[in-house]
């Protein structure tokens, strides 16, 4: 399995496309960070809010990039004709899928490492850096991985990379809807339901309660429950999807 | 060595791709599996190597039952599928090393084994070039190298010379014959190229619309069809067309 | 004579009426008063709880009062989105009996640098009148902890370091190509 993991990392993380994505992300981060001192409105923001804004951007970008990556991993192999050879090896389907999960995880970890100098600069003069990094790896990581696992599951179920990517992006947008709605809209009806259940909303609430309101562990844990439930659901979906990774017949 | 009993594949819409197929491949055979397009050749080969589940019947390889995700059987066989893709960003050598590792070849032996198979298929000088830059013939050679890198006792080749020029076809046929004669590898090869099968195979099966029409040793088949076809020296082509157009069946 | 008396009477009556109105203006029906803080001068991120008293000066119960903070950004001459300041949750007073005073606590967190006036406002579902306190001055000063030099170094340096890795990766892959 380690050989397959190395292959996934070489193919997706250290490929030409992969490293250019890292460069593009670093440019984005630089633009955003620099705007916190150059754009008048943003420069007047409290330092906690500055870091919250950067964290939201980081998580949003990470999720989008990871779901695009995950949604092409299995369907891409099927389209280029390499899946059959992999399935014929002694490796089980679960191990083949897990090696792809590790590939996505490594990809995200590199993005998170790129973000560290930016967080250092933005938390300078405060003792927030450890809290920020704790949030990033305890809440941000499960959230990004959950979306990646689901996109990988779609990639396994759906033969077309394009359709798998589309479905993954729609799922992300549905869970991110509350971020675009006003407070009033989120207080009742369907928007309220989505806001309650959405792991993206839950992660934002956890961020606010952890950094701004400085609530205790119990409240943080309760806030982050939808994220953890979403992770569990995505693991189950991926497990079942891996069993369906096969061929119909003579196609 | 390979035994298929009553092998059947029926889909949900009722279509029967393979219908009660019985075949046996003995050790050391180069077994040709012939049939027109849509005969069920690829479906059969996928059931034989465990990639798809049969609706009925069973397959054993060296007396081990073939099931999906059977690691033991996977190590005994090598497969070169018809629509075989490659990792174009890898070199030939890296590609073979990957599959040697995936098949569990001893880590200390991987390097030497990869060099060995590269020599076998005549790709030693081109092993450090990206697969994306290979010609079709070179890809097929690397494909065969990958199929044998873990020293399987049986290899399945699904249309291995498809799309190759005459020289390329001859080269692949030569590799297959050498593998069988020098390494004692049992070969199961599907093709719709009758000339190719008649040149390299010692045993053939002819299928049409999922049904086995004929099976046997090639020289015995030819002897047996002299009378039927009223031809002193019938070719495999003659036998094939007589079976697939007249639907005359029988075993010899 | 009678005419003069009528005019004097009308003038006196006018005083009485305006006097009553003046009296009414001096003491509103519902009085809202900010108890603490009386002013704020701090950096962004400052959190405080605004304590206000609301008194019913009428002889009737006032029901279903909603008490909330309003702010005006006098520095930028803008309105304020209270959600940004975590001050968008009003307090409700079910009933304020005649002469009763209730104390209300409303949390707020000042996030943007500027000068504001903060008010505590009350409204009832049974009346169109609005009752507001006087404004308290809020002065949120500029944040000085972010170091612009570090930001510039990181913003320019990090992409350059990543670019070096891109270059190394490109060089490594290029060696595999056919000459």
What pLDDT is attached to residue B219? Answer: 85
Around Cβ B201, how many Cβ atoms within 10 Å?
25
When pLDDT is cut at 50, 70 and 90, the band that residue B188 belongs to is very high
Q: Name the B residues in 94-133 with CB < 8 Å from any C CB.
A: 128-130, 133
- What residues have CB less than 8 Å from B172, skipping those under 6 apart? B137, B140, B141, B144, B160, B161, B164
> What pLDDT digit, counting tens, does each position of A38-83 carry?
877 777 778 888 899 999 999 999 999 999 999 888 888 888 889 9
Q: How far does B91 lie from chain C, in Å, by closest CA?
A: 7
Cα–Cα distance, A72 to A100 (Å, whole number) = 11
Same domain, C167 and C102: no
Phi, psi (deg, nearest 5) at residue B39:
-80, -15
- Output the CA–CA distances (angstroms, integers) from residue B20 to A148, B2, B51, B122, in the order listed: 43, 16, 18, 40
Q: Do C177 and B128 touch (CB under 8 A)?
A: no
Mean pLDDT, residues B216-242 taken together: 82
**In A, which residues are within 8 Å of C162 by CB distance?**
19, 22-23, 26, 114
How far is residue A47 CA from its own chain's centroid? 25
Domain carrying residue A131? 2-243
Cα–Cα distance, A194 to A175 (Å, whole number) = 7
User: Is C68 inside any structural domain?
Assistant: yes
What pLDDT is attached to residue C12? Answer: 66
User: Is A53 inside any structural domain?
Assistant: yes
Helices (DSSP H) in chain B: which residue ranges?
41-48, 71-76, 92-102, 107-120, 136-148, 166-182, 194-200, 218-229, 236-246
Domain carrying residue C158? 145-174
What pLDDT is attached to residue A159? Answer: 75
- A239 shares contact with chain C (CB less than 8 Å): no
Most confidently modeled range among A188-192, B247-251, C140-144: A188-192
The total number of structural domains that make up chain C? 2
- Output the CA–CA distances (angstroms, integers) from residue A178 to A199, B67, B152, B203, in the order listed: 10, 48, 57, 67
Q: Name the B residues in 51-70 with CB < 8 Å from any A CB.
A: 51-52, 68-69
Q: Which of A17, A21, A25, A45 to mutate to test the interface with C (most CBs of C within 10 A)?
A: A45
pLDDT tens digit at each of 179 positions of chain C: 677 777 767 666 655 555 444 444 455 688 999 999 999 998 888 889 999 999 999 888 998 999 999 999 998 888 888 888 889 889 999 999 999 999 999 999 988 888 999 999 999 988 888 999 999 999 988 765 788 899 999 999 999 999 999 999 888 877 665 43
- What residues have CB less than 8 Å from C19, skipping those under 6 apart? none
- A14 shares contact with chain C (CB less than 8 Å): yes
When pLDDT is cut at 50, 70 and 90, the band that residue B252 belongs to is very low
What pLDDT is attached to residue A251? Answer: 46
Around Cβ A206, how many Cβ atoms within 10 Å?
25
> What pLDDT digit, counting tens, does each position of C57-98 carry?
988 899 899 999 999 999 888 888 888 888 988 999 999 999
The total number of structural domains that make up chain A? 1
What pLDDT is attached to residue B246? Answer: 53
- Determine which of A111-120, A185-194, B12-21 has the lowest per-residue pLDDT on average: A185-194
Q: Do B46 and A249 touch (CB under 8 A)?
A: yes
**In C, which residues are within 8 Å of B128 by CB distance?**
176
Cα–Cα distance, B12 to A241 (Å, whole number) = 20
- C176 shares contact with chain B (CB less than 8 Å): yes
> What b/e readout covers A125-136, taking b as 16+ CB neighbours within 10 angstroms?
eeebeebbbebb
**Beta pairing, strands B154-158 & B77-80:** parallel
Cβ-contact C138, C115 below 8 angstroms: yes
Which among C56, C66, C52, C51 is positioned nearest to C27, based on CA atoms?
Answer: C56
Q: Do A48 and C173 touch (CB under 8 A)?
A: no
Q: How far does B133 lie from chain C, in Å, by closest CA?
A: 8
Side-chain half-sphere exposure of B83, counting CA atoms within 13 A: 14
What pLDDT is attached to residue C27? Answer: 58
When pLDDT is cut at 50, 70 and 90, the band that residue A114 belongs to is very high
In this structure, what DSSP letter does residue C141 have? P
CA dihedral B126, B127, B133, B136 (to 10 degrees): 80
Cβ-contact B229, B239 below 8 angstroms: yes
Crossing angle of helices A93-122 and A47-80, in 10° steps, is: 150
Q: Name the B residues in 14-73 with CB < 8 Å from any C CB.
A: none
CATH node for B2-246: 3.40.50.300
> What b/e readout covers B19-55, taking b as 16+ CB neighbours within 10 angstroms?
bebebebeeebbbbbbbeeebbbbbbbbbbbbbbebe
Q: Which of A90, A103, A244 to mutate to test the interface with B (most CBs of B within 10 A)?
A: A90
Same domain, C112 and C163: no
Same domain, C156 and C107: no
Cα–Cα distance, A28 to A34 (Å, whole number) = 10
> What pLDDT digit, counting tens, does each position of A135-156 carry?
999 999 999 999 999 999 998 8
Cβ-contact B103, B150 below 8 angstroms: yes
In this structure, what DSSP letter does residue C57 have? -
Q: Do C154 and A120 touch (CB under 8 A)?
A: yes
Nearest to C111 among A29, A43, A45 (CB): A45
**In A, which residues are within 8 Å of C151 by CB distance?**
33-34, 36-37, 121-122
What's the predicted TM-score (pTM) here? 0.79
> Helix (H, G, I), strand (E, B), or coil: what is residue A28?
helix
Q: How far does A191 lie from chain B, in Å, by closest CA?
A: 41
Question: B215 preceded by cis ω (within 30°)?
Answer: no
- If you measure CA to CA, which chain C residue comes closest to A41? C112
- A189 shares contact with chain B (CB less than 8 Å): no
> Helix (H, G, I), strand (E, B), or coil: what is residue B62?
coil
Cβ-contact C45, C80 below 8 angstroms: no
User: Is C84 inside any structural domain?
Assistant: yes
User: Is A37 inside any structural domain?
Assistant: yes
Question: Quick one: chain A helix, strand, coil %, rounded to 5?
Answer: 85, 0, 15
Instruction: Tell me the β-bridge partners of C117.
Output: C72, C137
When pLDDT is cut at 50, 70 and 90, the band that residue A193 belongs to is confident
Percent above pLDDT 70 for chain B: 96
- B112 pLDDT higher than 50: yes
> Helix (H, G, I), strand (E, B), or coil: what is residue C40?
strand
- Output the CA–CA distances (angstroms, integers) from residue A202 to A223, A227, A228, B161, in the order listed: 6, 7, 10, 57
What stretch of H or E contains A83?
A: helix A83-87
Mean pLDDT, residues A129-134 taken together: 93
User: Is C10 inside any structural domain?
Assistant: no
What pLDDT is attached to residue B251? Answer: 41
- B190 shares contact with chain A (CB less than 8 Å): no
Q: Do A124 and C146 touch (CB under 8 A)?
A: yes
Same domain, C152 and C133: no
Same domain, C71 and C112: yes
**Beta pairing, strands C114-124 & C130-132:** antiparallel
Q: How far does A105 lie from chain B, in Å, by closest CA?
A: 21
User: Is A250 inside any structural domain?
Assistant: no
Cβ-contact C35, C51 below 8 angstroms: yes
- B247 pLDDT higher than 80: no
User: Is C87 inside any structural domain?
Assistant: yes
Instruction: Tell me the β-bridge partners of C56.
Output: C30
Same domain, C34 and C116: yes
Q: Which of A89, A94, A95, A251 to mutate to test the interface with B (most CBs of B within 10 A)?
A: A89
> What pLDDT digit, counting tens, does each position of B117-163 carry?
999 888 999 999 999 999 988 999 999 999 999 999 999 998 888 88
Cβ-contact A61, A26 below 8 angstroms: no
- What residues have CB less than 8 Å from B246, skipping those under 6 apart? none
**In C, which residues are within 8 Å of B125 by CB distance?**
none
Q: Name the A residues in 69-108 with CB < 8 Å from any B CB.
A: 77, 80-82, 84-93
Cβ-contact A103, A4 below 8 angstroms: no
């Amino acid at each position: 399995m380690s050989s397959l993991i190395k292959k996934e990392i070489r193919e997706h993380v250290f490929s030409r496309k992969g490293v250019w994505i890292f460069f593009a992300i670093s440019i984005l981060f630089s633009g955003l960070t620099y705007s916190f001192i150059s754009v008048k409105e943003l420069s007047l923001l409290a330092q906690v809010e500055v870091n919250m804004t950067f964290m939201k951007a980081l998580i949003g970008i990470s999720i989008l990039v990871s779901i695009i990556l995950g949604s092409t991993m299995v369907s891409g192999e099927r389209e280029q004709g390499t899946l059959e050879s992999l399935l014929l090896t002694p490796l089980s389907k679960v191990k083949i899928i897990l090696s792809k999960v590790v590939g996505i995880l490594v990809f995200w970890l590199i993005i998170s490492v790129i973000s560290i100098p930016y967080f250092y600069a933005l938390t300078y003069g405060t003792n927030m850096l450890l809290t920020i990094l704790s949030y990033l790896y305890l809440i941000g990581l499960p959230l990004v991985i959950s979306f990646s696992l689901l996109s990988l599951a779609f990639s396994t179920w759906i033969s077309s990379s394009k359709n798998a990517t589309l479905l993954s992006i729609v799922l992300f947008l549905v869970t991110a809807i509350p971020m675009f709605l006003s407070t009033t809209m989120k207080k009742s009806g369907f928007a309220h339901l989505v806001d309650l259940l959405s792991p993206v909303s839950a992660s934002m609430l956890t961020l606010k309660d952890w950094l701004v309101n400085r609530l205790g562990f119990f409240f943080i844990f309760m806030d982050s429950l939808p994220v953890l439930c979403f992770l569990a659901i995505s693991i189950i979906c991926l497990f079942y999807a891996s069993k369906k990774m096969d061929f119909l017949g003579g196609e | 060595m390979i035994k298929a009993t009553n092998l059947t594949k029926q889909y949900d819409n009722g279509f029967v791709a393979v219908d009660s197929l019985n075949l046996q491949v003995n050790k050391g055979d180069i077994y040709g599996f012939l049939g027109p397009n849509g005969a069920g050749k690829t479906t059969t080969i996928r059931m034989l190597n465990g990639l798809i589940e049969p609706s009925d019947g069973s397959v054993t390889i060296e007396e081990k039952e073939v099931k999906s995700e059977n690691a033991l059987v996977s190590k005994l066989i090598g497969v070169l599928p018809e629509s075989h893709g490659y990792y174009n960003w890898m070199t030939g050598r890296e590609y073979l090393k990957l599959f040697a590792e995936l098949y569990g070849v001893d880590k200390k032996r991987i390097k030497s084994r990869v060099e060995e198979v590269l020599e076998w298929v005549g790709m030693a000088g081109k092993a450090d070039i990206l697969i994306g830059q290979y010609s079709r013939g070179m890809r097929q050679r690397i494909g065969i190298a990958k199929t044998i890198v873990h020293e399987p006792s049986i290899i399945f080749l699904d249309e291995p010379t498809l799309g190759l020029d005459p020289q390329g076809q001859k080269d692949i046929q030569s590799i297959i014959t050498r593998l069988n004669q020098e390494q004692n590898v049992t070969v199961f090869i599907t093709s719709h190229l009758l000339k190719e099968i008649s040149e390299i195979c010692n045993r053939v099966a002819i299928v049409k619309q999922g049904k086995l029409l004929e099976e046997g040793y090639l020289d015995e088949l030819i002897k047996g069809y002299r009378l039927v076809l009223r031809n002193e020296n019938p070719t495999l082509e003659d036998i094939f067309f007589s079976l697939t157009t007249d639907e005359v069946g029988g075993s010899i | 004579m009678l005419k003069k008396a009528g005019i004097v009477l009308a003038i006196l009556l006018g005083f009485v009426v305006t006097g009553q109105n003046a009296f009414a203006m001096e003491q509103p029906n519902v009085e809202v008063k900010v108890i603490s803080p009386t002013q704020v001068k701090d950096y962004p991120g400052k959190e405080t709880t605004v304590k206000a008293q609301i008194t019913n000066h009428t002889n009737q119960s006032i029901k279903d009062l909603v008490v909330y903070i309003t702010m005006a950004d006098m520095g930028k001459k803008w309105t304020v989105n209270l959600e940004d300041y975590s001050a968008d949750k009003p307090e409700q007073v079910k009933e304020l009996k005649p002469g009763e005073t209730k104390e209300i606590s409303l949390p707020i967190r000042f996030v943007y640098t500027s000068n504001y006036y903060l008010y505590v406002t009350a409204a009832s579902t049974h009346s169109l009148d609005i009752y507001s306190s006087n404004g308290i001055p809020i002065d949120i000063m500029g944040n000085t902890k972010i170091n612009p030099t570090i930001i510039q170094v990181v913003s320019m340096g990090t992409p350059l370091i990543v670019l070096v890795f891109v270059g190394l990766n490109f060089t490594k892959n290029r060696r595999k190509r056919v000459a």
